[in-house]
């Protein structure tokens, strides 16, 4: 019997409209895992926020987080892969952000303690959406949060990604400067959504290493588990899932877009399934494995 490796995005794909697993998906996903179905996730989220959303889920396989820049087990006790940005690239991007008075976050690991960090700007450099994010992280008592001038002590940090949070025109101008300096040749840049506040459209954009993608992550996990890439079945909905679907499809696997996917993602999918709010990912896996819902 063919053994498949299923890898799903979370927000807009596996999660329902509340941003969590529905009771049906949770119950049946646990049953799938207990039946030794190979399943894991690939998310733009940090492992911290993944675990906040998934809770006590018995995930056995490596988890792909931060868009593929970090692969660990669900407990974070074992680390399998990290994709750090080169120090000179971090310095150059930081200088551009500071010069443009940009509002940004930076995430990675401390060089000496190896603990994850999420560097937040001091109050005078925050905008409304960043402040909302910070308030929510403090409320959750996120141990990664550090308020600092990120440009200080760069040598003490291994940086995985930047998140630029700016109103659309300013954000695009800053990204243009990164491209003008040819810093983007080794980067993956993902628009992660926008939000209108007080008449301004704010865009969230992540900047990370070109090897830190969900597609690279999926192939690494498949290799680690000795699963042929043609047996990959992946699910996504947004632009940062493009590499995930492309990796599966280009290796003979199955690339599945949910109904609510962006047009670009739907165009490269092997086929599409129903809207994410209908438990479509879990229903597909159950049918593929010839298992009845519980």
Question: Contact, 240 vs 224, CB < 8 A?
Answer: no
Please give the structure tokens belonging to residue 210: 């070109």
Residue ranges of the chain that CATH labels 3.40.50.1000: 5-82+212-288
pLDDT of residue 198: 67
Whole-angstrom distance, CA of residue 73 vs CA of residue 124: 37
* Per-residue model confidence as pLDDT tens for the chain (294 residues): 789 999 999 999 999 999 999 999 999 999 999 999 999 999 999 999 999 999 999 999 999 999 999 999 998 889 999 999 999 999 999 999 999 999 999 999 999 999 999 999 999 999 999 999 999 999 999 999 999 889 888 989 999 999 999 988 899 999 988 888 776 678 989 888 777 766 778 899 999 999 999 999 999 999 999 999 999 999 999 999 999 999 999 999 999 999 999 999 999 999 999 999 999 999 999 999 999 999
The residue count of the chain comes to 294
Question: Contact, 183 vs 93, CB < 8 A?
Answer: yes
Residue ranges of the chain that CATH labels 3.30.1240.10: 88-209
Report the CATH number of the 5-82+212-288 domain.
3.40.50.1000
Cα four-point dihedral sign 110, 152, 212, 193? positive
* DSSP 8-class letter at 190: E
Whole-angstrom distance, CA of residue 69 vs CA of residue 211: 7
Fold of 88-209: 3.30.1240
pLDDT of residue 152: 86
All residues at 6 or more sequence positions from 3 whose CB lies less than 8 Å from its CB, including other chains: 38, 227, 231
DSSP string, 3-68: PPEEEE-IIIIIS-TTSS--HHHHHHHHHHHHTT-EEEEB-SS-HHHHHHHH-S----S-EEEGGG
pLDDT of residue 184: 67
pTM over 0.85: yes
CA distances, 243 to each of 140, 187, 247 (Å): 31, 13, 6
């Amino acid at each position: 019997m063919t053994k498949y490796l299923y890898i799903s995005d979370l927000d807009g794909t596996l999660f329902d409209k509340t941003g969590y697993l529905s009771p049906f998906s949770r119950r049946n996903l646990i049953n799938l895992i207990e039946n030794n179905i190979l399943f894991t996730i690939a998310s733009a989220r940090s492992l911290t926020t993944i675990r906040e959303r998934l809770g006590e889920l018995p995930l056995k396989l490596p988890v792909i987080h931060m868009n593929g820049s970090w692969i660990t087990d669900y407990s974070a006790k074992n680390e399998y892969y990290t994709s750090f940005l080169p120090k000179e690239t971090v310095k150059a991007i930081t200088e551009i952000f500071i010069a443009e008075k940009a509002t940004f976050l930076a995430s990675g690991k401390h060089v000496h303690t190896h603990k994850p960090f999420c560097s937040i700007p001091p109050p005078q450099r925050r905008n409304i959406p960043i402040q909302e994010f910070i308030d929510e992280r403090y409320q959750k008592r996120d141990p990664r949060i550090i308020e600092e001038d990120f440009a200080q002590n760069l040598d003490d940090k291994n940086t995985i990604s930047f998140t630029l949070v700016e109103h659309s025109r300013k954000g695009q101008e800053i990204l243009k400067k990164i491209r003008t300096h040819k810093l983007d040749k080794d980067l993956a840049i993902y628009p992660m959504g926008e939000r209108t506040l007080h008449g301004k459209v704010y865009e969230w954009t992540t900047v990370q290493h070109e090897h830190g993608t969900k597609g690279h992550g999926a192939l690494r996990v498949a290799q680690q588990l000795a699963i042929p890439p043609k047996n990959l079945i992946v699910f996504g909905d947004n632009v940062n899932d493009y590499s995930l679907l492309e990796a599966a499809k280009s290796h003979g696997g199955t690339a599945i877009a949910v109904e609510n996917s962006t047009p670009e993602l739907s165009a490269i999918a092997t086929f599409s399934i129903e809207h994410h709010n209908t438990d479509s990912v879990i229903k597909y896996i159950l049918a593929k494995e010839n298992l009845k819902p519980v």
